[in-house]
Amino acid sequence: MPTHARPTEVLLVEDNPADVRLAREAFEEGRTRINLHVVGTGSDALDFLRHSGRFTSSPRPDLVILDLNLPGKSGGEVLADIKSDPALLRIPVMILSSSREYRDLQRAYELHANCYIPKPVDYERYLDVVRSIEHFWFDIVTLPSV
């Protein structure tokens, strides 16, 4: 379990309400204190990260979980913007996408995604994946302080 006292800030960029619900359920069952922030578009994700628009008081996330298939600005475009911005590039970005296309996987790593996880279609497997994300990113990995 993390040794820091503050909750871990996670930004989930996901436009599918069912996937958002599953992620919330899985993180709520976890052992780590997580503040899960959810936005449904790539533009909102960048506003959240840059504290602009309606997100002027948003916290800096410890981890971004990003879907590639978003309305408007795609997840790939969001990833490229994050990793090309010196103020944001240290924030780990995990891709959680329904895309099984090799070109999407390859492109995500070319844009410096920290990992790529295909989104499970099975309910129990989806919960297992989110629990694994929590365990790996918040119990094993040492994240930079914000």
pTM of the model as a whole: 0.92
Q: Is the predicted pLDDT of residue 77 greater than 50, yes or no?
A: yes
Mean pLDDT of the chain: 91
Strands 8-13 and 34-39: parallel
Tell me what the mean pLDDT of segment 64-80 comes to: 96
Between CA 47 and CA 92 the distance in angstroms is 17
Domain layout of the chain by residue ranges: 8-132
Tell me what the mean pLDDT of segment 29-58 comes to: 94
* CATH entry, 8-132, from 3.40.630.10, 3.40.50.2300, 1.10.3720.10, 3.30.465.10: 3.40.50.2300
Between CA 28 and CA 34 the distance in angstroms is 8
Going from the C-alpha of 92 to that of each of 72, 89, 123, 124, 141, the distances in angstroms are 22, 8, 25, 25, 11
The pLDDT confidence band at residue 3, using thresholds 50, 70 and 90, is very low
